[in-house]
Structure 1
């Protein structure tokens, strides 16, 4: 750090992203990207004519994308806001609904950015431990009287609550916003979007990075009561009104509209997830009941850190979190069947040695 850094940032620990090697020498199963390319409709939408328009600013209202999203989700355009990835929407939500006197409640094992953003914006954290088996007890969140964020399905565990459990939390906190981070919902979770018209305190955040193959495009949606979305837009237009570039707007709209490709690719990932889980359990691994595009696993035969390093030496990247409670676990993204077979072959070699 330089001597010019604000003292208020001294204690902020930035989020550490998963490794992103650019030489493609690894089988990359560490950052929950899709192993499949974007929809052919996306490739058509990002045309030469659109590239030539990059000299012009993008539409700050994101009107065409929001109209497509409204049609897809059964909402009104004023109930949706697009962000530069779901991360930006989550950050805007914390900026809008939390401050130094209004804490954020979240689980002790969940997406790491929640705590990072609290540190950055000096928002007090109210950390709620998961149960011993990593499940979340909804009653722990009843009557908290503070803003709440829930990753559902959760990361890195992959476990999910039913919609009815989230509804109970909404009812128990009617005067505070409940943010549901649904980054992985398309792989087996139960979305809370159908509850939006019933609960004015519900904000649902989704991403195009996982099930719509647009991680590199950086696009997400926040959906909720029109007044909540107006609050988020107040933050957006105070910071970065042109937050979505022209090509991403076109790509996102095309990805939303190609429902057949969306359904087919996520179905393949779910099927591959089930097969991989069976294979790992046959090898003695403990595997949580994931509803995401990854598995959370451990084995008594090797500690998590050692297994992560040995897999990397064998050309396979997975994610290891060197933190209390989960240091013995690995998070493994679901790739193609061939990639998962390569993972299993590497594991067999390592564990035999």
Structure 2
């Protein structure tokens, strides 16, 4: 700890991202990346941006990313004034905490959820209280109704559990909190849920956050966006333009627009991930695992007779990595990203050998 650190830095407990090890022949099922490549149209658009006029990279990109906002607006039948874009959904969320969730009352989010939320609270000085998940690890809407708060945020599907809150239950939370912003973080919704973006025209307190890292296979490009009432978007723009007025580069804008417009490829790859997820769920159940219902591109599973940490260690020795959270209530679960069919088969083969070494 340096004497030059500010008090804010001294008190921070930073977010720890999923491990990115450099191991040969690794089967990497720990960070929820899409196993399929991005849309060929997105790759072509990035290359065209490079080939068209090399001098363009010496110029700043469009600070408003108007082409990308228009693409998102087309996709969801909203107006560009209802769209905000940033460097991945994490940057969008960071601006959300500063612009819309920093109030007198504490904000609410699930006790088991995306672990970046308390980090943002520490960074921006936002008070918070957690709402326990139900015994089956589902989000309990009743915990967010009739309780004073400075805002509400939750992922849907939730992370790391993968459980989906139905859209009518999401709207119930929104309607019960008309004087608070309700942020629905939909990083994984394309793998089995209905987006709350359909509700933004009915509720001026709703903001929905998406990323292109998961269902659009663009984790390396860092593009995220939010959709909500224009006044909510204006608040985010004010923070963004006080922090970084050129958040998205030319290549990111070009690739993101093409990826959003390529609906056929999006549908194809999402369907492939869902099919593999369902097959993996069945295979793990056959090995004795309890697998929570998932609407994401990962599953959350535990084995009643085997410690999760030991299973993760044994898989790692076979060059397969999954995510293990050492957190109360979920320390016996493994979060397993849905990979290709071959990767998931290798995982189940490895688990079969670990569980039944004498077979």
Same fold (TM over 0.5): yes
Provide the residue aligned with 1:122 in structure 2. Answer: 125
Provide the residue aligned with 1:79 in structure 2. Answer: 82
- Give CA-to-partner distance per residue, 1:113-170, whole Å, 9 cap, x none: 0011101111111111111211111011013332000100000000011111011111
Map 1:248-327 → 2, pairs under 5 A: 248-327=252-331
Map 1:192-271 → 2, pairs under 5 A: 192-271=196-275
RMSD in angstroms over aligned alpha carbons?
1.2
The aligned length equals 353
- Give CA-to-partner distance per residue, 1:31-90, whole Å, 9 cap, x none: 000001011101110123268222111111101111111111100000001110001111
Provide the residue aligned with 1:165 in structure 2. Answer: 169
Change (3 A) 1:214 1:323: same
Give the one of 96, 101, 104 matched to 1:101: 104
Q: Is the CA contact (8 Å cut-off) linking 1:82 and 1:221 kept in structure 2?
A: yes
| 1:44 aligned counterpart, secondary structure | helix
Query: How far, CA to CA, are the matches of 2:327 and 2:272 in structure 1?
Result: 32
Query: How far, CA to CA, are the matches of 1:272 and 1:203 in structure 2?
Result: 31
Q: Structure 1: where are the runs of 5+ without partners?
A: none
Change (3 A) 1:9 1:144: farther
Query: How far, CA to CA, are the matches of 2:227 and 2:210 in structure 1?
Result: 8
| 1:65 aligned counterpart, secondary structure | helix
Establish whether residue 350 from structure 1 lines up as the match of residue 351 from structure 2. Answer: no
Query: How far, CA to CA, are the matches of 1:138 and 1:220 in structure 2?
Result: 26
Query: How far, CA to CA, are the matches of 2:181 and 2:307 in structure 1?
Result: 39
Q: Structure 2: where are the runs of 5+ without partners?
A: none
> TM-score normalized by structure 2?
0.96
| 2:63 aligned counterpart, secondary structure | coil
Provide the residue aligned with 1:13 in structure 2. Answer: 13
Q: Is the CA contact (8 Å cut-off) linking 2:167 and 2:194 kept in structure 1?
A: yes
The 10-residue stretch of structure 1 (299-308 or 79-88) with the greater mean CA deviation from structure 2: 299-308
Query: How far, CA to CA, are the matches of 1:18 and 1:131 in structure 2?
Result: 26
| 1:221 aligned counterpart, secondary structure | strand
- CA drift of 1:100 comes to 6.1
Q: Is the CA contact (8 Å cut-off) linking 1:201 and 1:225 kept in structure 2?
A: yes
Establish whether residue 88 from structure 1 lines up as the match of residue 91 from structure 2. Answer: yes
> TM-score normalized by structure 1?
0.98
| 1:10 aligned counterpart, secondary structure | helix
